[in-house]
Structure 1
């Protein structure tokens, strides 16, 4: 099968399209013919070699942690899914024509493949973050990166739960954030003053909780607006601990929660912003976009 491959760690240019053996579904797995593969900052970090201190990545490697596709092989012990079903879920080698899934959720026939592929990672991250922040209706949440994948979905889910959301984004993405039901504001210099003006709290805590999904040096301002580090959470800044701010570790992803999110997207209740859909041979460009932090939404590859 064709896949995006890297034989050494390094810049995005180490990625190239090559032929690799077809994977075979083992016990508890399904194999899908990939329709679309989501690209995440984590994929770019692994490809760069930055994650080698945490776990080893055998080379040559195929990146990719989430895909949507059509089941074409079912492993032993798997029930509730059959060849020909459309699914989305988590994988270890997604930027390819075929991928193996151990956790997945069904996808309606009329659901866009790119939207489906963009959902597993941001969906799990957004819901986990909101659970950890323990938000209640009527509270005010500040979301950094509210126009992006994780931030955008977290914003929509929080608004639907009765939380007031103030979302930071670039000038070009203010309307998108407003469309999610949040109050948009620009990031950058003067953020503290702008948020205080929006909440009417000139002194003391201005918001009840903060979610940093941008990882762009926003934590000092976040702590100032919250009046401390309590209920300030980053899912994007590797230096969170240096600011006394909590980060969240990935638990095992939940197929049940993914199915719930697929249902919300299918009904139009929430959406995942897809910024770019690129062919497999543009995997280097896809990794450049996600690593820049300025993609403006999810980046997806199609075989």
Structure 2
């Protein structure tokens, strides 16, 4: 009897999905929905419960009577989504990283047969794991932890169009990351990562001479850099904001290139306030301006 009980426990352990792992490796092999438990425990068509590692499972009935299941965890950029037929059979399942689908999304008919498979990693030979490793190694940014204000997206690619694979990482610069460009604090930094080979382009954005009031003018500068954060081009724009700046883009009134390394005379790296600098001189000047900024800020505190 004791041997039979041990055998039964081992069998149950083997067929039960492994919920104790991270969402990155979360089991995607569930084919049916536990309708009995859902009917017993749902409130107004919704049911929330937690698994190991603080993984949250949210289930709710949609208007067409299908059931959607969202599995996530606070602080994790990964999410699993499943949709079930009213009879409890799986309709589709997929995994997301930040706001975009990764891997394969499999769609089934009501009898459990695969109808379609969408490969969201098409052309992305530089994988999400590669992206995470490179951003952490080069810039100390850990994309595997969902930091407030940080966003990661990528182009949707398929055999039916010619869209190039590209990741976009928008990184908010907070106080500890303070970076000055031409004496102005950088508002945010964007990394554009080629999804086929991992090459990176970086853009810093600053805005000055601006007001929080709508309808007033502002000046911005965009600094385009290579992977080593060496400035290649600077574009200055005159802007006017007609709408909420957190939801809409401004109108560009004027735009001009104020620096382009491809057109610079040999030996000149930077022109600022009528003076030319070599690369080494400009690095020293930026450090001097940054220290002056810190000194001024500390006096105000």
- If the TM-score is normalised by the length of the shorter chain, which range does it land in? under 0.3
TM-score scaled by length of structure 1: 0.25
Larger radius of gyration: 2
Q: Which one scores higher on RCO, CA 8 angstroms, separation ≥ 6?
A: 1
Structure 2 length as normaliser, TM-score?
0.25
Structure richer in strand, relative to its length: 2
- Tell me which protein shows more helix as a share of its residues: 1
